Amino acid sequence: IIVTISPNPLQSSGTLQIQSRFNQALQMQVTDVAGRLMGVRKIMLTTGINTIPLRADAWAAGIYYITFTAGNGMKISRKVVK
């Protein structure tokens, strides 16, 4: 899985581009720098590049971590600034 977030830093919204080698489900979890959970979402990926909107208008300015967890337990985290 390859994950790109743009723009970074975010304003009110952005785009996730997730490249997957096969169809799969991911759990996306957003936490702030203090570890508080901002949201959880399930994403269904298809083979290839998947484009997913990211809404950040309710987030305060700061640093956030988006963690993606695959069904096999693999985790990928990305830092986002708003």
pLDDT tens digits along 41-70: 999 999 999 999 999 999 999 999 999 999
pLDDT (0 to 100) of residue 69: 97
- C-beta of residue 54 within 8 angstroms of C-beta of residue 10: yes
pLDDT (0 to 100) of residue 79: 97
Q: Distance between CA atoms of 26 and 66, rounded to whole angstroms?
A: 12
Q: What is the 3-state secondary structure (H, E, C) of 33-77?
A: CCCCEEEEEEEEECCEEEEEEEECCCCCCCEEEEEEEECCCCEEE
Mean confidence (pLDDT) of the chain: 95
